[in-house]
Amino acid sequence: MALTDLYSNVHLLVRWLHVIAGIVWIGHLYFFNFVNVPLQGALDDQAKKAVNPRLLPRALWWFRWGAMITFLAGVTLLLVKYTVGDLWFDADGKMSHRAMWILFGGLLGTIMWFNVWFVIWPAQKQILGWMKNGQSPPEMPVLAKRALLFSRINTYLSGPMLFGMIAPNNYGSLNSVTLLVAIVVGVGTVYCLIKSSPNVGHIT
Domain count, the chain: 1
Is 203 inside a domain boundary? no
User: Residue 180 is part of which domain span?
Assistant: 6-196
Is 86 inside a domain boundary? yes
Mean pLDDT by 10 residues, the chain (204 residues): 74 93 98 92 87 92 98 92 71 86 95 98 94 85 95 98 92 90 96 81 46
Per-residue confidence (pLDDT) for residue 46, from 0 to 100: 87
Is 204 inside a domain boundary? no
Per-residue confidence (pLDDT) for residue 71, from 0 to 100: 98
Is 202 inside a domain boundary? no
Is 17 inside a domain boundary? yes
Per-residue confidence (pLDDT) for residue 199, from 0 to 100: 65
pTM higher than 0.85 for the full model?
Answer: yes
Per-residue confidence (pLDDT) for residue 107, from 0 to 100: 97
Contacts of 87 (CB under 8 A, 6+ apart): 81, 96, 98, 99
Per-residue confidence (pLDDT) for residue 188, from 0 to 100: 97
Per-residue confidence (pLDDT) for residue 193, from 0 to 100: 92
Is 37 inside a domain boundary? yes
Is 172 inside a domain boundary? yes
Is 136 inside a domain boundary? yes
